[in-house]
Amino acid sequence: MTTQTTTQPNLTEAIGDEAECLAKLRRMFRNADMHPTFPMNSAEVSELFRENGYKASVDVLEDFARRGMVPNVQIRQGRFAWSAVDVLVAAIHCDTWRMFVPLHPRCLHRLTALELAEMQAAVEGGSVFNDADTFTVRAMVQMLDSNGNPELRHVIAVALKSRLERLGVLDK
C-alpha cells in the first residue's frame, strides 16, 4: 500500500503575494467604505464580505480557518488575524460555494435564474420548490448522486440547499 503525501497549494503562485491580493481586494474595500488595514479581525472580514454581498459570519470564517480551508490565518492574542491573502482565499470560497446575501445588488449578476427565483420566493417566506418537499433529503441526495445531467443536478442542488435552509440545517 502506497501513501501519497498531499501538500497545501502554493497560494502565492495561485493568487499572488500580499500586495497583489490587496490590489484584488481594493474594490471590496471601496464598496464597504472601509480602509484596508491588516491584519484584520474576523468581525472586520465578515463586515467587508457582508457589504459586498457575501454571507459569511464570524463563525463561518473562523471555521474556514480552523479547517485549514484558509490555511495561513495567524492567531494573535487569542484571535484570528487575517492577511490580504487570507481574506482573498476566504472570498474565493464564498464565491465558489455561492454564499450570497439574498438579493444583494452586488451579487445579483452571479445568480442563475433559478437561484434568483428561489431567493425572491424566500424573501416572501416561500419557496419555488414546494413540490420538492415531498422528497426526503436522502432521496434528493440520491438524485444528485445518480444524475449526470448538469442542468438537472443544479436544480436538485438548489432545491436541496433551499430545503436544508428552511429546515434550519444550513444558515439562511
Residue 12 above 70 pLDDT? no
Whole-angstrom Cα distance, residue 165 to residue 64? 20
What pLDDT digit, counting tens, does each position of 77-122 carry? 999 999 999 999 999 999 998 899 989 999 888 888 988 998 899 8
- Burial letters for 122-133: b for 16+ Cβ neighbours within 10 Å, e otherwise? beeeebbbeebe
Task: Collect all residues with Cβ–Cβ distance below 8 Å to 108 and sequence separation of at least 6.
Answer: 116
- Per the CB < 8 A criterion, the answer to whether 118 and 105 are in contact is no
Higher pLDDT, 45 or 151: 45
Helix (H, G, I), strand (E, B) or coil at 40: strand
pLDDT 10s digits, 55-77 = 999 999 999 999 999 999 999 99
Residue 116 neighbours by CB distance under 10 Å: 15
The Cα-based distances of 36 to 9, 29, 50, 53, 87 in angstroms read 25, 6, 15, 18, 11
- Going from N- to C-terminal start, the domains of the chain cover 11-96, 111-166
Identity of the residue numbered 94: C
Q: Which residues pair with 81 in a beta bridge?
A: 74
Q: What is the pTM of this model?
A: 0.76
Tell me the DSSP string of 77-133.
Answer: TTEEEB-HHHHHHHHHHHHHTT-B-TT-TTTGGGS-HHHHHHHHHHHTT--TTGGGG
